[in-house]
Amino acid sequence: MTDTTSDGTPGYTLTARSPHDYDATVARVRELLGDAGFGVLTEIDLKATLKTKLDVDVAPQVILGACRPQLAHQALAADPSVAALLPCNVVVREEADGVVVEAFDPQVMISMTDAGQAVCEVAEDARARLQQMLAALADDGARTDGAG
């Protein structure tokens, strides 16, 4: 069983609801990741992949592999095995009641390594940047609601 937070989300992700539709959210998340200093290295379209491989239909969902090279380099210098935890996955998923964006919480890396302070600092920096990105996305809704 996975530990969950008080709002029911897994304890290993950072989460926000998007005020946009799915396609607009994917584009906005890419833009906000860039603003936070991340590049998107990989993109996995789960809907298309599962349809092709298993002939099953699922709601639109994409995994974006986000990386901030400076942080990745610092983490790898402290513990080369951290590479198995990179890049930072950010998921955009359509649900019945809207679009959810989840990012792997970099703080979880701390419990998976014994590299010490260097990895802690990288995780804290990455977490702050991802939280900023998610807050900006959620803030889009506040601006939209206030404008109408």
Assign 30 to helix, strand or coil.
helix
Q: Which residue has the higher pLDDT, 146 or 142?
A: 142
Element (H, E) at 37: none
Strands (E), the chain: 13-18, 39-45, 61-67, 88-95, 98-104
Question: What would the pLDDT profile of 52-81 be if each residue is shown by its tens digit?
Answer: 999 999 999 999 999 999 999 999 998 898
Ordered by start, the domain boundaries in the chain are 13-147
The H or E element that residue 109 is part of is: helix 107-112
Task: Select the CATH number that applies to the domain covering 13-147 from these four: 3.40.50.300, 3.30.310.70, 3.40.50.1100, 3.30.1490.150.
Answer: 3.30.310.70
